Amino acid sequence: MKCVGGSVKALILVAASVSYSAALQAQSAVDTAAGITQSSTIGMYYSRGLYGQDAATRVRYLPYTHELSFSGWRLKGSIPVLEIDGPGNVLIDVGNVGGRSAATVSERGVGDATISATYEWPALSAGLPFFDVTVDLKLPLADERKGLGTGRPDLGIQVDAYYVLGQVNVFASVGYRYRHRSPVYEQLNDSVNISVGASRSLSENVQAGLIYDYREAASAFSGDTHELIPYISWTIQTNWSLMMYMVEGSTQDSADKAIGVQLTRRW
């Protein structure tokens, strides 16, 4: 979560989505019993930032995600529509890649799809945290000629830990992403990401949380990012929930403005 930009981050949506899922799990450590449950999510993420450049980059990211849960497993697939306006040297999920014209461009198209599998390890005993292990694969559907992707797959692994401390749900994530070397963008790096956060119920249907997210530079032209992500989620009805979040960065590789919203239906 959940990068984009010339020295930008932008799949914060993914980090926020993961943290939101973690908060929901911590709120109810025991998931639904036997059988398969499903959820569909429509999201919107918008960011604007200079990222150390003369011209601003604007990102609009609209993903659709579907998830299946059964027997301690979660299988998820996501495909987005992506639009980038700004210097032509900014890649989503990477940042500043250099090597392209810095002239302002406006590109739109299908973004890279993602599929993932998560196994939920139960707590060994009462009072101990429980863990998730996720492996995800990025499928290169985005057109690298338009600067919407690298044209090559990525592989990531992440471990999440959750713990209920009184009325507060505490969670943390550590992940590593392997980036297949792109023929278009040659100076991509593998990278580490770390997130920590906490959430608390404000009422029976409303929950608020705060996430700190660190991501190692994914390109020789970009830098590390440090960001705070406050969010609030609202259970509208039994099967419907809405999450809204903002992003506040402390480095030039973060957006000046970033907001997101997700609407989820479960059944």
Domain at 12-266: CATH code: 2.40.128.130
Residue 147 confidence (pLDDT) above 90: no
For residues 54 and 226, which has the higher predicted lDDT (pLDDT)? Answer: 226
- pLDDT value at position 178? 94
62-72 pLDDT, tens digit each = 999 999 999 88
Among the residue ranges 37-46, 88-97, 162-171, 204-213, the one predicted with the least confidence is 88-97
71-94 pLDDT, tens digit each = 889 999 999 999 988 876 777 767
Q: Give phi and psi for 263, each to the nearest 5.
A: -115, 125
- pLDDT value at position 9? 37
Residue 247 confidence (pLDDT) above 90: no
189-203 pLDDT, tens digit each = 899 999 999 989 899
Q: Where are the domains of the chain?
A: 12-266
Cα dihedral sign, 27-230-165-14: positive
Residue 221 confidence (pLDDT) above 60: yes
100-127 pLDDT, tens digit each = 555 677 889 999 999 999 998 877 777 7
**CA-based Rg of the chain, rounded to a whole angstrom?**
18
8-state DSSP, 13 = H
Question: Do 188 and 217 meet the contact criterion of CB atoms below 8 Å apart?
Answer: no
Q: What is the mean pLDDT of residues 131-160?
A: 91
Residues 230, 43: Cα–Cα separation, whole Å: 17
Mean of the per-residue pLDDT values for the chain? Answer: 80
45-60 pLDDT, tens digit each = 898 877 767 788 888 9
Q: Give phi and psi for 157, each to the nearest 5.
A: -135, 140
Residue 135 confidence (pLDDT) above 60: yes
